Structures are given as C-alpha cells and as structure tokens.
Amino acid sequence: METVLQQNPETFVDRRGGGTTERPLGVPERRQFRSTPTCSRPEVQELANAVDQYKLNRHRRFITYEELYGVIEELGYRKI
C-alpha cells in the first residue's frame, strides 16, 4: 500500500525542522492570557501579566495547571 507521501512527495513541506525560532521584528509573541484588551478587574489583569511574564522568562507558550498555581501563589494568594 502506498502512503500519501509516496504518491505525491513534492507537495509535502516539512515546516517543523530547520527553521528559526525567532519572530520578525515588531511582531509580538503570542500570549494565552493577555489577549483581552479591556478588563474591568485589576486582579485579573495582574494575574494575566504574571502568567505572561512567567511564560516569557521560561520560553513557554503554554503552562500546566501546576505552573499556573505556582504563579498564583507567587502573587500572594493562599487557599484558606
């Protein structure tokens, strides 16, 4: 049985390897939390900024729930 690549190999473009991880100048890095331009609650904006800073410092696009909980703890929140 032939695979799709064997049938028409010139249409496949492997974009995963060999490229640069740097983004062009002036193009902001994608963010998961700071996408809402207006927020009526300052504590929500503070959390979004803290999460984005965490991701920037660790070169992560997405974080786990455990990492999110750590960011929340760093902001001073505790379960009582």
Q: 48 near 33, Cβ under 8 Å?
A: yes
For the chain, what are the domain ranges? 4-74
Q: How far apart are CA 51 and CA 47, in angstroms?
A: 6
Q: What is the pTM of this model?
A: 0.57
Mean pLDDT of 63-72: 95
Q: What is the pLDDT of residue 51?
A: 92
Average pLDDT, the chain: 76
8 Å CB contact between 47 and 77: no
* Neighbour-count burial for 16-52, b at 16+ CB within 10 Å, e otherwise: eeeeeeeeeeeeeeeeebbeeeeeeeeeeeebbebbb
Mean pLDDT, range 10-22, rounded to an integer = 60
70 or 40, higher pLDDT: 70
Average pLDDT over residues 62-75: 95
